[in-house]
Each structure stands twice: as structure tokens, then as C-alpha cells.
Amino acid sequence: MGRRGTHDGFDRITLVPGLMSGRPTIRGMRITVRMIVGQIDAGVSMETLLDDYPHLEREDIEQALRFWQANVNKHADWGDHDWP
């Protein structure tokens, strides 16, 4: 699957129709921005995420957090409960 639909200059954030219901994901993987942000908000460390998800890279997590901050109020059409 290609890295279609990188979003607003975030080269690691992808929007792929049919993948995770079109929610923003990391590099086209089945890991959503919302999952990463939710884990960090729940107190999971970046190191633990990297251990638990070996395909993730530190920059993926950092970019997911920046993406969330930059876009959380802009995309009501993605649904509060679904996005990112």
C-alpha cells in the first residue's frame, strides 16, 4: 500500500481511503495518530511505545503529537470520537 495522502506537510502522517476508516495513520500502517496520542495521554512513555510497536520510529511519535496539536480543532468532519 502506498503512502497516499500525506497530510499538510507531515510526511509520516498518511490518509489512505479504506485503511483504518480513512483516519490519519503513521506511514500507511494500521497505527492511528489517535492511538499514539491516547497512549501518551494515558502515561505510556515513548520508549514503551517504541518497544511495543517495533515498526514505529521516534520521529513517527513526535510527528503524530505535532499533527494532533496542529489539527485537533480543524477536522470536525473526521468525528470527535474517531479522529485522528
Q: What is the CATH number of domain 6-73?
A: 1.10.10.10
CA atoms of 44 and 18, how far apart (whole Å)? 28
State residue 9's pLDDT score: 77
- Neighbour-count burial of 23, counting CB atoms closer than 10 A to its CB (0-12 exposed, 13-18 middle, 19+ buried): middle
State residue 79's pLDDT score: 45
pTM over 0.85: no
What's the pLDDT tens digit per position in 67-78?
998 887 765 555
What's the pLDDT tens digit per position in 2-46?
445 556 679 999 988 889 988 899 999 999 999 999 999 999 999
Handedness of CA 50, 56, 12, 21 (dihedral sign): negative
- C-alpha cell belonging to residue 82: 474517531
Q: Where are the domains of the chain?
A: 6-73
- Average of pLDDT values for 36-57? 96
State residue 5's pLDDT score: 54
